[in-house]
Structure 1
Amino acid sequence: MIKGLFCGLTGLDITYYQNEYPLENQKSKTNDYRTFVGGPAANAAITYSILGGNTTLITCLGNSIIAKAIKTELLEEYNIDVIDMAADSQQLPSLSSVLVNMKKASRTIWSGQQQFYINDENTYEQMINESDFCFSDCNLPEISIGLLKKARESEKDIVLDTGSWKPHFPECLKLADEIIASITCNPPGSDLLTFLKDTKVKNIAITDGENDTFWLESSNSGLIKVPKIQSVDTLAAGDILHGAYCYYRFYEKNSFVNALEKATLVASESVKYFGPREGVYNIKKNKF
């Protein structure tokens, strides 16, 4: 079974479904609220696992009650091996409050993230050697940069998810083979495509929400049409695309563009349902 090594942010999303935002210093109530394991790397890893991949997730969670619950769910519900680089910490993991506007199918996120002390006794070599590819959301640079360097040394395929630009991105980007970026990811004073010309990145995709996805492979480029559907919840749709892409690219051995096309359909299916999983399970049940 093709094994994927995912690295990056994991947390808990506390999600509220309602149509209005609370006013400052006011209280807003809804009877429709849920919790999901979240974070770009975790959502991608879960998607890859649901579709059928063998998954290891390297992240920072700690030893709090909430962190233990997250690790238990990842292992027991999704069969994901979790390597917690902050296992001895009592800090809270990433916690996000998410408001999903059901009329607009939009989501607004309040994200709480802390920097963890990393246990240097943990190493990546064995996990990298046992994996077929490495994916990182480029968060948690205290662990992701070191892992990507070792993955590059081991000649593993490296896929990056880059959201809004962060100062450590150049160090990550120079190590990648393929990048699926958000249109909001622009280096200061430049644009992403121009910046990437000075790197060894082979394949590039730039997503733009419900708009078409641009792709560049060597000297070829094009657009992937995003299905026009009535969405109800876009939470984690981008993360789902990344996880599905890894599945179709490395597990099913599709070409770069074909894997993107299939992953786009999975992400589009996911926004038809509340929460980030039901659409993926539906795709798994009714394979292409």
Structure 2
Amino acid sequence: MPLADHTGTCWFVGLTTLDVVHRAAGRPDRDEKVTASRQDVAAGGPAANAAVTAAALGARAVLVTALGDSPVARAARTDLETHGVEVHDVVAPGQDFPLAVSAVLVDEATGERSVVSADAALAEAPPPRFLGDLPHPDVVLFDGHHPVIAGAAVGHLENRDPRPRVVLDAGRWRPLFAELLPVADVAAVSARFAVPGHEDVTAGAHALGARGVVVTHGDGPVEWSSGDDTGTVPVPAVEARDTLGAGDAFHGALAMALAGGAALPEACATAVEVAGTRVRHVGPRSWLAEVRR
């Protein structure tokens, strides 16, 4: 199936990291070292990776995040801008910020990744002062990190006409999702996502206010629910060589398709195809050439 031909303007609000990715024949045991067969360094984080995906697919991708002016942050910014992302940093120019460096190991045999990262836990990001200067978005994606930034963005969206659609990247529960689910048009969650007080993830997300819910099951079918309509989207079998950022690619493609006016089932089908392309390629950026517009 060809990718849906949709473009639009998407904001991605949340986390940026710098990922140091090693590929090796296996994971080291305790107090053991292994030699990597490949090394990559690229910007990471759910919002940042989703923005890279959307930009490659032809959307105007606007990233609202916390970077600072450290060498680590400059490396992350350079990678993002190289791949077409418009980066808007809430940290004042010239000020440092403890950007997380993620240590990633990808298993050559299975393509599975292991990640150690501080995410956004090292410091509280300041609020953005520039949201009114950004292009009007068709879709805004939140990844559940940087609560101060997210809160400011939610407040800003309440006064926008037309109001953009809100998409959540909800891989695992964070307290911020209790505030974001009530404003979500689409909550994209993993099957392991747990809404406190609810056994069923779809029912729980709807109960907290999400109007649409998408549930991913790894290589199993994607479930979607919107109002009284429900359905599934099959996931084609592919050789998974590298799963790092596959979920982020799914969310970036989902946001891009929704921004262009796609209905939820069509947007899910586009996201499934893009995520499948991601896992067939080794390395955090090599796969973009296959989907770039």
TM over 0.5: yes
Single out whichever of 211-220 and 272-281 deviates more from structure 2: 272-281
**Quick one: distance in 1 between partners of 2:209 and 2:158?**
12
Equivalent residue for 2:287, pick from 276, 279, 282: 279
CA distance in 2, matches of 1:240, 1:234: 10
Distance 2:14 2:185 in 1: 17
Contact 1:60 1:84 in 2 (8 A): yes
Q: 2:247 matched to 1:247? A: no
Distance (Å, rounded) in 1 between the aligned partners of 2:126 and 2:98: 16
C-alpha spacing 1:254/1:29, structure 2 compared with 1 (3 Å): same
Question: Which residue identity is paired with 2:132?
Answer: E
* Distance of 2:48 and 2:90 partners within structure 1: 14
Structure 2 residue aligned with 1:181: 189
**Alpha-carbon separation, structure 2, partners of 1:238 and 1:52:** 19
Q: Distance in 2 between matches of 1:121 and 1:140?
A: 11
Which residue in the other structure is 1:79 paired with? 84
The 1:120/1:179 distance shift into structure 2, 3 A limit, reads: closer
Query: What is the CA–CA distance in structure 2 between the aligned matches of 1:277 and 1:73, rounded to whole Å?
Result: 10
**Corresponding residue for residue 176 of structure 2:** 168
CA distance in 2, matches of 1:207, 1:100: 21
Residue in 2 aligned with 1:58?
Answer: 64
The letter of the residue matching 1:5 is W
What is the percentage of aligned positions where both structures have the same residue?
Answer: 28
After TM superposition, give the deviation of residue 117 of structure 1 in Å: 4.4
Counterpart CA distance in 1 for 2:128 and 2:226 is 39
Mapped contact 2:15–2:65 kept (Cα < 8 A): yes
- Out of 220, 230, 239, the position equivalent to 1:230 is 239
* Alignment partners' CA distance in 2, 1:144 and 1:132: 17
Tell me the CA shift for residue 261 of structure 1: 0.4
Contact kept, 8 Å, 1:237 with 1:276, in 2: the verdict is no
Runs of 4+ more than 6 Å apart? none
Give the partner amino acid of 1:43. N
Aligned equivalent of 2:137: 131
Matched, 1:262 2:270: yes
Unpaired segments ≥5 residues, structure 2: 1-6
Superposed CA RMSD in Å reads 1.8
Q: Which range moves more in the overlay, 107-116 or 173-182?
A: 107-116
Q: 1: CA distance between counterparts of 2:239 and 2:84?
A: 32
In the alignment, which residue of structure 2 is the partner of 1:149?
155
Q: CA deviation at 1:120?
A: 4.3
Q: Which has the higher contact order (CA 8 A, sep 6+)?
A: 2
C-alpha contact (below 8 Å) 1:132/1:156 kept by paired residues: yes
1:7–1:58 Cα contact (<8 Å) kept: yes
Is the Cα–Cα contact under 8 Å of residues 60 and 116 in structure 1 kept in the other structure?
Answer: no
Q: Which amino acid aligns with 1:205?
A: V
CA displacement at 1:100 relative to structure 2: 0.5
Paired with 2:118 and 2:210, the residues of 1 have a C-alpha distance of 31
Unaligned runs of 5+ in 1: none
Return the alpha-carbon distance in structure 1 between the equivalents of residues 124 and 205 of structure 2: 32
Q: CA deviation at 1:193?
A: 2.1
Contact 2:22 2:40 in 1 (8 A): yes
Cα 1:280–1:79 shift into 2, 3 Å: closer
Q: In structure 2, how many angstroms separate the alpha carbons of the residues matched to 1:203 and 1:145?
A: 21
Contact 1:181 1:207 in 2 (8 A): yes
Deviation at 1:89, TM superposition (A): 4.0
State TM-score, norm by structure 2: 0.90
Q: Which letter does structure 1 place at the counterpart of 2:131?
A: Y
